[in-house]
Amino acid sequence: MRATLNIPDELLSEVQKISKQKSKTMAIVTAMQSYVRDRKMTELLALRGKMTINYDWRTEEKIELQAQEERDKYNEK
């Protein structure tokens, strides 16, 4: 997507320097990807202690082994 943006020259130069990107487009894309990743991480960290995960690996293992046995029976036919 093309867009016309008014970005201060100093800021764009700094982004290019930090991101080690020569093209302005790639510098902006890299910065935007980094921003999105950081925001998602912040949102995930905000959930810390607010969710309870009831995970029992033994039960999951039993279910997986049963499913594998069913697949093996099906594949034998």
- CB 26, CB 38: distance < 8 Å: no
Q: For the chain, what are the domain ranges?
A: 9-76
Query: Which stretches of 1-77 are DSSP H helices?
Result: 9-19, 24-46, 57-76
Nearest partner of 15 among 4, 6, 26, judged by Cα: 26
Q: Which tens digit of pLDDT belongs to each residue from 10-38?
A: 999 999 999 999 999 999 999 999 999 99
CB atoms under 10 Å from CB of 27, counted, come to 21
Report the pLDDT value the prediction gives residue 77, as an integer from 0 to 100.
67
Distance CA 19, CA 35 (A): 12
